[in-house]
Amino acid sequence: MIGTVCANRKFMPRDLQTKKRGNVDFRSSPTGMLCLQWCDKIPVTMLSMVQSSVIDTSQCGVVCTKPKEVTDYNIGMKGLDLSDQLVQSYLTVQKSIRWYKKVLFYLLDMAVINAFCVHKAHGGRLMQLDLRLELVHGMMQEYTRERVTGVKGVQP
């Protein structure tokens, strides 16, 4: 397990010091937890259950050195970061509604994002906004069809 953490949390080591880009400082606990701080543009603090302090070197235009935990974290989080980015484009959750409505709208957003990803995987060319409009249009047609005929699923 690997994840980012705020450096000012309770029980976090206070003596981690990374000031320059590319520097790494780490501490490990007797229970097997590794806490490391790596400075890219800003210091990034991570917790890991894997006890290794291996430095990876990758070439992305320039030679980049970073801890293996950071590269593993980036590989594992690509899909989640992408879905969070897509959800942020068209948020339906509002600040003033109750928590259970927020959960419902978040799940609805995730369903739309999943539909968008499936649409793209099957060669679809619609943008996210156009797909959302198509979904709303289809739901409105289904609702008006029910209101006119009085029966679900029957076309007038």
Average pLDDT over residues 47-65: 73
The per-residue pLDDT for 83 is 78
Q: Is the pLDDT of residue 81 over 90?
A: no
What is the average pLDDT value for the chain, to the nearest integer? 84
Average pLDDT over residues 123-129: 94
pTM more than 0.75: no
Q: Is the pLDDT of residue 156 over 60?
A: no
Q: Contacts by 14-23 with C-beta closer than 8 Å and gap 24+? A: 16/43, 16/45, 18/43, 22/65, 22/66
Confidence band, pLDDT 50/70/90 cuts, at residue 129: very high
User: DSSP letters of 9-69?
Assistant: STT--S-----STT-EEEEE-TTS-EEEEEESSSEEEEEESS---PEEEEESSSEEEEEHH
φ, ψ of residue 47 to 5 degrees: the values are: -115, 140
The per-residue pLDDT for 61 is 63
Top mean pLDDT of 17-21, 56-60, 110-114 is at: 110-114
The per-residue pLDDT for 32 is 85
pLDDT in tens, 7-46: 899 988 888 888 888 888 888 888 888 899 988 888 989 9
Q: Name the residue with higher pLDDT: 51 or 32.
A: 32
